[in-house]
Amino acid sequence: MNNSAKRIDIIAGVPQLLQSGLDHSIVGRARKKQLITIETHNLHDYADDTYRHIDDTPYGGGAGMIIQCAPVFACIEQLQQQRTYDAIIFLTPDGTTLTQDIANQFSLMNNIMMLAGHYKGIDQRIRDTLITHEISIGDYVLSGGEIPALVLTDAIVRLIPGAVSDAESVLDDSFMHGLLDAPHYTKPAEFRGMNVPEVLRSGNHALIRQWREQQAIEKTKKRRPDLFALWQQHND
């Protein structure tokens, strides 16, 4: 094992949802290359009753079930006895919206723990005491935090040196420079009457860079005026 490898521990009520996403593509290859260790932990294994319950009804009434303190505290405290974590992240729709800058920051950390909620939510005392960061992947609600945990993991892992074979491709991704990515084309040069822009076939790399930058600016201005405004502020 590469002792310098990064590590992510994901705690989930339904860890089975995570496995395929962690075993394949860039994340799976990074694990095989020992660039990162990713372990999943079944919250039910830390339940304190015979039936392995991890949730109960909310105080004050209302619909839904709330994940209890006991199994979460037991799991997190056990992991903390083994290593120091740079971040303990709770995936929740009312957290800070995930951005490329946030993913960049997490990618520089060595040990990260993620808690994927399920049901209605988790006991607030977990959030007040154990959680260091709360992250959302968007303004919508899913059945649980397992898929958001996969999204965040993928965003982090692909930034680890060696995880993506073409490092320049990562640097040119959308949001890396505050803009959306420019359009891309591949062979053939003509398909059903639709042609690849001549500049991309010119071999003039200076012109190609200029074209791509202009396309990225126009695309961002049209689709994400909020990002464009921020980009303008930083480039004025």
- What integer best gives the mean pLDDT of the chain? 92
The mean per-residue pLDDT over the stretch 115-130 comes to: 92
Which tens digits make up the pLDDT trace of 39-49? 999 999 999 88
Domain boundary among 98, 133, 157: 157
In a domain, 167, yes or no: no
Same domain, 121 and 218: no
Q: For position 229, which CATH number holds?
A: 1.10.1270.20
Q: What pLDDT, on the 0 to 100 scale, is given for residue 1?
A: 43
**Count of domains in the chain?**
2
The mean per-residue pLDDT over the stretch 215-222 comes to: 94
DSSP state string for 16-53 = GGTHHHHHSHHHHHHHHTTSEEEEEEEGGGG-SSTT--
pLDDT at 108 over 60: yes
In a domain, 162, yes or no: no
In a domain, 166, yes or no: no
The DSSP output letter for 144 is: B
In a domain, 193, yes or no: yes
Same domain, 199 and 87: no
The mean per-residue pLDDT over the stretch 101-114 comes to: 96
91 within 8 A of 122, measured Cβ to Cβ: no
Q: Which residue has the higher pLDDT, 146 or 62?
A: 146
Alpha carbons 89 and 25: distance in angstroms, whole number: 24
Q: What pLDDT, on the 0 to 100 scale, is given for residue 175?
A: 59
Token readout for 3 is 């002792």
Same domain, 185 and 78: no
Same domain, 179 and 120: no
In a domain, 111, yes or no: yes
Which tens digits make up the pLDDT trace of 58-94? 999 988 999 999 999 999 999 999 999 999 999 999 9
Same domain, 114 and 83: yes
Domain boundary among 157, 183, 207: 157
The mean per-residue pLDDT over the stretch 212-224 comes to: 94
> Which pLDDT band holds residue 169 (cuts at 50, 70, 90)?
low
Same domain, 34 and 101: yes
Name the residue range of residue 143's domain: 6-157
The mean per-residue pLDDT over the stretch 160-188 comes to: 77
Same domain, 204 and 104: no
Same domain, 112 and 15: yes
> Which pLDDT band holds residue 3 (cuts at 50, 70, 90)?
very low
Q: pTM for this structure?
A: 0.86
Q: What pLDDT, on the 0 to 100 scale, is given for residue 119?
A: 76
Share of the chain above pLDDT 70, in %: 94
In a domain, 23, yes or no: yes
Domain boundary among 157, 184, 217: 157
> Which pLDDT band holds residue 120 (cuts at 50, 70, 90)?
confident
In a domain, 128, yes or no: yes
Residue 52, by phi and psi: left (phi above 0), alpha (psi -120 to 50) or beta? left
Which tens digits make up the pLDDT trace of 204-216? 999 999 999 999 9
- The alpha carbon torsion through 132, 45, 119, 144 (nearest 10 deg) reads 70
Same domain, 56 and 151: yes
pLDDT at 155 over 90: yes
Same domain, 150 and 49: yes
> Which pLDDT band holds residue 170 (cuts at 50, 70, 90)?
low
Same domain, 99 and 25: yes
Q: For position 124, which CATH number holds?
A: 3.40.1280.10
Same domain, 114 and 15: yes
